[in-house]
Chains A and B, each alone.
Chain A
Amino acid sequence: MSNYIAVIFETEKKASDGLHKLWQLDTDGEMTVHGAAIVRRDDMGEVQVSHKHTDAGMRTAIGVGLGALLGAFAGPIGVAAGIAGAAALTVAAGVGAGAVAGAVVGGAADAIKSADRSDMEHQPFFVLDQGQYAVMAEVSETRDSALDDAMKPLDGKVHRRLNDDVFTGVYGREYYGSHLYPCYYEPRFM
């Protein structure tokens, strides 16, 4: 059984280091990374996905899929937003579709934050604040502490969601993973 993880960072540098560290853990056999990518929420509230400089053909699909994954991490409201984001893909073939999905998810996150901020720290979901970065990944862990210990020096906060039928019920088990890079890449934001 695998987990989806989101590790939150305050800077792009730390997020990049976090992604590198994640794949290093895989190389060392401490865990298995099935796919990973970095997203950031910019100062306008939109969620953007870092990408390889060569991935022109994939960027839109990755943006929409990870927008949905972020929404799923954000709880029931976010899941609904993720659905809206994915629906946008079917009608918007342009490059902006990923940003549309991200913006919707960001809006949902704000709704949760303003309504229930005091309880947020005790919930298994999170809000990606403006200016923050998240390393999103699907992983198989043999022990939780390997990831937690590796991200601690980078001030990365680890969130997990089991890749089970409940979590993936909306899109199916393979949906989110298909939007993550299956190998390490040097992240870059446009």
Chain B
Amino acid sequence: MAQHETTLDGARIAAQELHRKVMANIAKAQAGTEAELKIVSDDAHKLAQSISSEAASQTEAVKTHLNAAVAKLEAAGAHLRASADTGKEHIKQANAALLDGAHAAAQSVSHAVAILRGTTAIQKPATPKVIA
């Protein structure tokens, strides 16, 4: 497996895990805290930086999907920073924005992974047929 594919697979798993974390936070409803929100928000920020770094060395087709993922994650972060609210309603809205960002990021990175997997499949030599 190519190095880029491995790194991108890691980014994809991280995006999926972020999605799970946000879902878990949303499920807590009224019990959710600002501290938990900050943890996933920081995760989203780190993931955006990681994907952005990876995008630099990719082909244009892959880069397009990765940049879309970064944009979604950053938009979720911007939503958090722009909101001056605090309290339960703030947590609820922030989690919704993060969920949207994590969801879109996971799918965008997934499409990037698919392009690389498709390229790898084409480059692999065909398996010779054994004629009995």
Q: A interface vs B, CB < 8 Å?
A: 2, 29, 32-35, 52-58, 138, 140, 142-143, 174, 177-178, 182-183
17 A-B pairs within 8 Å (CB atoms) are namely A29-B1, A32-B110, A34-B107, A34-B114, A35-B110, A52-B23, A57-B23, A57-B26, A57-B96, A58-B23, A140-B114, A140-B117, A178-B103, A182-B15, A182-B16, A182-B103, A182-B106
Among B1, B23, B106, find the residue whose CB has the most chain A CB atoms closer than 10 A. B23
Give the residue of B1, B27, B96, B118 whose beta carbon is less than 8 angstroms from that of A54: B27
Q: Are B121 and A183 in contact (CB under 8 A)?
A: no
A174 to chain B, nearest CB (A): 8
Report B85-115 CB contacts with A as 1/0, cut-off 8 Å.
0000000000110010011101100110110
Q: B interface vs A, CB < 8 Å?
A: 1, 15-17, 19-20, 23-24, 26-27, 29, 95-96, 99, 102-104, 106-107, 110-111, 113-114, 117-118, 121
Q: Are B19 and A32 in contact (CB under 8 A)?
A: no
A55 to chain B, nearest CB (A): 6
Q: Are A56 and B20 in contact (CB under 8 A)?
A: no
Q: Are B96 and A29 in contact (CB under 8 A)?
A: no
**B residues in contact with A182, CB < 8 Å:** 15-16, 19, 102-103, 106-107, 110
Q: Are A2 and B24 in contact (CB under 8 A)?
A: no
Expressed in whole angstroms, the Cα–Cα distance for A138 and B20 within the complex equals 19
Expressed in whole angstroms, the Cα–Cα distance for A52 and B24 within the complex equals 10
Q: Are A56 and B26 in contact (CB under 8 A)?
A: yes
**A residues in contact with B27, CB < 8 Å:** 53-57
Expressed in whole angstroms, the Cα–Cα distance for A183 and B15 within the complex equals 9
A170 to chain B, nearest CB (A): 19
